[in-house]
Amino acid sequence: MKIYPSLISADILNLRSVIKTLDSHCDGYHIDVMDDHFVSNLTWGPAFVEAIVSETKLPIHMHLMVDNPEKWVGRVGLRDKDFFIFHHEVVSDALKILNNLKDFKHKVGVAINPETPVEDIFSYLDKLDYVLIMSVKPGFSGQKFMPEVLEKVRVLVDHRESKSLNFIVGMDGGIGLSNVKLLADAGVDEVGVASAVFSDGDPVRALGELYETRIHR
């Protein structure tokens, strides 16, 4: 299971330094984009996200917690290793936005909130590279993990195998030392981790403990 530090909890005034420090210790970075409408928080715009992308060769998850993800299509120079992830709950026609994204080289994913049944995305699951399961209410880091979402992982992994699909199963929210191995054992492929990496001031050590716990605890 890969670990992506979520930069929302990093030292925002020193992100270049943070990225240089962590580049050799993690699998990529998770960027939460919030619009103060879909969620009650406001973070970064396209130029800021593109600046982060330009600072690392590692993959980026651009997680759009916004009402109109269509407006972000083509506005950030994502690469073929990066992911454009929008929320199922905010689009009336997922196929339309997926069609708008098909000419870009980056990968595409969808995120679902804790209360959204995973079956709601089955009609277009074959067109996705990534499914991000929210394990907290979207909008703020530091929330408590909601274990009931683990059933969605089982459903997705079983469906992926039965239909011979290739999407990644990711999870975001409340992830730390107490549950990282549980998620790895359940079949989660990648996780975004915020507070558990950045809260104690030594993100390199925190990441090392997460990777170790993922395997052995």
The question of whether 202 is a catalytic residue gets the answer no
Nearest of 96, 75, 94 to residue 86 by alpha carbon: 94
For residue 24, the tally of other CB atoms under 10 A from its CB is 8
The answer to whether 27 is a known catalytic residue is no
| Neighbouring C-alpha atoms within 13 Å toward the C-beta of 168 | 20
Per residue, what are the HEC states of the chain? Answer: CEEEEEHHHCCHHHHHHHHHHHCCCCCCEEEEEEECCCCCCECCCHHHHHHHHHCCCCCEEEEEECCCHHHHCCCCCCCCCCEEEEEHHHCCCHHHHHHHHCCCCCEEEEEECCCCCHHHHHHHHHHCCEEEEECCCCCCCCCCCCHHHHHHHHHHHHHHHHCCCCCEEEEECCCCCCCHHHHHHHCCCEEEECHHHHCCCCHHHHHHHHHHHHHHC
Q: Please pick, among 11, 23, 27, 32, the residue that the annotation labels catalytic.
A: 32
- Among candidate residues 35, 82, 172, 189, the one labeled active-site is 172
Q: Enumerate the active-site residues.
A: 32, 172
